[in-house]
Amino acid sequence: MSANNVAQIKNNRLFYIDNIRWLMIILVLSMHAAVTYSNMGGWYYTEKINVDYPTHLFFLTYQSALQSFFMGLLFFIAGYFVPKAFDTKGAGRFLKDRLVRLGVPTLLYIFLIGPLTEYFVSKSWHPDPIGRSFLQEYKYYIIRFRLFGGTGPLWFCEALLIFCLTYVLFRKTFKKNLLASDSTPTNRDIVIFAGILALSTFLVRIPLPKGSSFYNLQLCYFAQYIIMFIAGTEAYRKKWLQNITLHTGLLWGRLAFSGGIVLWAVLIAFSVAFNLDGDNFGGGFHWESLGFCIWESLICTGVSLYIIVLFRERFNKPPGKPVQFFSANAFAVYVFHPPVLIALAIMLHSLQWHPVIKFILLTLLSVVATFTISEFLLRKIPLLKNIL
């Protein structure tokens, strides 16, 4: 690491973290665009098309690889900033800040953005009888408690708020003064971490396989999210981001790439050769699920380390205007992107193009449209600007 980067990090000038965050938000848009055409995963609007096996394998690989790390990395980054915020503000101000920052956008989505999107854009609400008005359907949305599962992508904010509340309870229960200390994870430590990640995910997915959901919270992934959040808080205390070397980050990036390809190929080969039940890879007490969890945890650990270290070395500098633009609008895009992405997908429906081409096009158009709308419309609205 360069001396300049070390100085910046020690002064809490973590410019590269913002670059990682807006990149992850773009990957969120990419994931939802992929689900639109793959029909693998839950989303408001999908095109019911039959795809050939190579196309299916492309989407399966892309979505599985993306899912294995991008939300976990966001929870890690969020966790990294929690201890300092708590130490600086105290429990009361910290909770108030999180309730406003995370709770208000979640409520906005539950009570306004989600219902409008489902009824008018994706038409994923199916009134019975057909023709029931929005207000009538909205009434049933409330009185039948469907709103508790209406968080959409804001499930992330809901989960993060729960994690922050738990952190406050932990700090108030164990009042020991937590002092920062230098520490550098060894390769052995990282292997153990990846192993804990894999085993925890495997155990959680025995009763809660992939695809199961509790009020829009996919608990099958929460072992990773919780562990990555805790790792983020520890990374702040023990100064891991400063001390992990470039060599370590590159090494684990290579391991994730090469090892991930080999293990993924083995899993696919076994699945095809022995005509295995695909559901076994998603959970239950099956070796297929264990193998998938090991692969997923390798990707999560290796890719996260690689991205953090690479961005620290290459992008830890005061942002230019393009980076400022993406960084400033990332959260607003995350909150408001569903109706825009869905509307664009519906506009592209008539194009008789290959699903992968439409997926790429939808991703690009969604990025341009959502960031533009955020910059020139949404964040100009006073009430929204205060929470976005």
How far apart are alpha carbons 91 and 301 in whole angstroms?
31
Mean pLDDT (whole number) for 318-345: 95
How far apart are alpha carbons 214 and 30 in whole angstroms?
24
pTM attached to this predicted model? 0.94
Report yes or no on 176 lying in a domain: no
CB 84 within 8 A of CB 236: yes
- Give the range of the structural domain holding residue 257, as residue numbers without chain letter: 3-76+182-385
CA 37 vs. chain centroid, Å, equals 20
Report yes or no on 95 lying in a domain: no
Question: Which residues on adjacent β-strands are paired with residue 214?
Answer: 217
Report yes or no on 90 lying in a domain: no
Report yes or no on 251 lying in a domain: yes
Structure tokens at 243: 């001390």
User: SS3 for 366?
Assistant: helix
Amino acid (one-letter) located at 218 = Q
pLDDT at 1 over 70: no
Could you tell me which residues come within 8 angstroms of residue 299 by beta carbon, excluding any fewer than 6 positions away?
65, 68, 69, 256, 260
Report yes or no on 352 lying in a domain: yes
Question: Which residues on adjacent β-strands are paired with residue 217?
Answer: 214
CA contacts within 13 A on the Cβ side of 163: 29
Sign of CA dihedral 274, 276, 282, 283: negative
CA 54 vs. chain centroid, Å, equals 26
What length is written for the chain? Answer: 388
Q: pLDDT digit string (tens) for 124-181?
A: 987 666 778 899 999 999 999 999 999 999 999 999 999 999 999 999 988 766 666 7
How many domains does the structure of the chain reveal? 1
The pLDDT value given to residue 167? 96
Neighbours of 291 (CB within 10 A): 19
Q: pLDDT digit string (tens) for 42-90?
A: 999 999 888 999 999 999 999 999 999 999 999 999 999 999 999 999 9
How far apart are alpha carbons 379 and 386 in whole angstroms?
8
Mean pLDDT (whole number) for 209-228: 96
Q: Which of 272, 300, 303 is nearest to 288 (CA)?
A: 272
User: 10 falls in which pLDDT band (50, 70, 90)?
Assistant: very low
Report yes or no on 103 lying in a domain: no
Report yes or no on 354 lying in a domain: yes
Report yes or no on 159 lying in a domain: no
Mean pLDDT (whole number) for 234-249: 93
